[in-house]
Structure 1
Amino acid sequence: MATQQLFNEALLKLAIMMYRIDGKIRLNEQELVDLIADDLAWEGVNSITAVQSQAVAEVRDAIRADKVEAYLAGLKDALMFDKKKALDTARQIMQSDGEEAQKERRLYDYLRQQLLV
């Protein structure tokens, strides 16, 4: 069973993936991810800033290698700790800029219909 901290780290990685997947990084999406990070009860060994920086690099590599689903599958167990919050967070980021990019929608649908079921 995943812990709250593992969930927090996975949620942060999911949030970063959601705003970076379409290749268009908008300020409001970045601000929303920062708000999500600020709201996490962080108890990790590494600082939230360090985890966030590492996640940005991991997400960028997963997108470049076309291994987004595999990357998210690696987060599944931790995200299942609170799958409703994970899905709500993904949806919130997807809708934050007033338009749903196709890649964001596909990723959200994958989460909702296949990964977090």
Structure 2
Amino acid sequence: MATQQDFNEALLKLAILMYRIDGKIRLNEQELLDEIGDQLDWQGVNSITAVQNQALADVRQAISSNQVEGYLTNLKPALQFDKQQALDTARELMQSDGEEAQQERRLYDLLVQML
């Protein structure tokens, strides 16, 4: 069973994936990502910055190697801790720049199916 910290880490990774999936990084998306991180009750062994940095590298790799679905599948058990918050966070990031990219919609739809 996933813990709150497992969920926090998975939610942060999901947010980074949603933020990077369309290849366009906008200031309002970055600000929202920072806000999401600031709101987490972080109790991890690793700092939030370390987890973010590793997640950025992992997300870049998943996108470039066309393994996004596998990356998301690995997050699924922890995201099920609070499905609604995971879906709300993904939707908020998808809509944050006022433009819903096809890649973002596909990823969100996949997340809905998984959860």
TM (norm. structure 1) is 0.97
RMSD: 0.4
Letter in 1 for 2:2: A
CA distance in 2, matches of 1:115, 1:13: 16
Q: Which string of whole-angstrom CA distances, capped at 9 and with x for unpartnered residues, describes residues 16-51 of structure 1?
A: 000100000111101100000000000000000000
Matches within 5 A, 1:66-81: 66-81=66-81
3-state SS of the aligned residue for 1:74? helix
Identify the residue that residue 115 of structure 1 maps to in structure 2. 114
Q: How many residues align?
A: 115
Letter in 2 for 1:8: N
CA distance in 1, matches of 2:85, 2:105: 17
Matches within 5 A, 1:44-55: 44-55=44-55
Identify the residue that residue 16 of structure 1 maps to in structure 2. 16
Structure 2 residue runs of 5 or longer lacking an equivalent are: none
Do residues 57 (structure 1) and 57 (structure 2) align? yes
1:106, distance to aligned residue in structure 2 (A): 0.6
Identify the residue that residue 42 of structure 2 maps to in structure 1. 42
Letter in 1 for 2:78: A
TM (norm. structure 2) is 0.99
CA distance in 1, matches of 2:55, 2:114: 19
Q: Which portions of structure 1, spanning 4 or more consecutive aligned residues, are displaced by more than 4 angstroms?
A: none
3-state SS of the aligned residue for 1:6? helix
* Aligned-pair identity (%): 75
